[in-house]
Amino acid sequence: MSPGFAVFVLMNNYFHDVATALILACGAAAWMLLKRVENAASGSVTAYFLVLYNKITRVFWFSIGWIIVGGIIRALTFSTFEWPNAVEKHHEAGLIAKYAIATIMMVIGAYLWIVVSRRVKKLHA
- Write the pLDDT tens digit of every residue in 71-81: 999 999 999 99
Question: Which pLDDT value is given to residue 44?
Answer: 86
Reduced to 3 states (helix: H, G, I; strand: E, B; else coil), residue 90 is coil
Could you state, in order of their start, the residue ranges of all structural domains in the chain?
Answer: 3-124
pLDDT digits (tens, 9 = 90+) for 100-115: 999 999 999 999 999 9
Decide if pLDDT at 32 tops 80.
yes
CA geometry: angle 32, 99, 67, nearest 5 deg: 65
Query: What pTM was estimated for this model as a whole?
Result: 0.87
Whether 110 contacts 23, CB under 8 Å: yes
Kindly state the greatest CA–CA separation across the chain: 58
